[in-house]
Amino acid sequence: MNIFFSQYEVLHDCAEETNFSTTTDEVDDDWDVWWIDGPILPTLLIKMKWYQRTNHLPACYVLANKKLLARNL
């Protein structure tokens, strides 16, 4: 689990309980889950391998913003 872009210490505990190892190296590409506190970086999506996942969907702010959600509905 890569937690480079995260500030939450609880992720270390969760990773330990689920037998995941954590890394805080941005250039390390040997991870299964990348936990990001903010929006997804397009460059990350391009570099992801088929088995890698992240905790956000691209452009999920469109659903979280009331004005944009209403417009899309």
- Tell me: the pLDDT tens digits for 23-56? 888 777 888 998 888 878 788 888 889 999 988 8
Question: Can you give the pLDDT at residue 51?
Answer: 92
Under 8 Å CB-to-CB from 35, ≥6 apart: which residues? 1, 2, 3, 5, 6, 11, 54, 55
Q: How many CB atoms within 10 Å of residue 30? A: 10
**69 three-class SS:** helix
Question: Can you give the pLDDT at residue 44?
Answer: 82
More confident residue, 59 or 52: 52
**54 three-class SS:** strand
Question: Can you give the pLDDT at residue 17?
Answer: 92
Q: What is the mean pLDDT of the chain?
A: 85
Q: Span 5-32, mean pLDDT?
A: 87
Q: What ranges do the domains of the chain cover?
A: 10-72
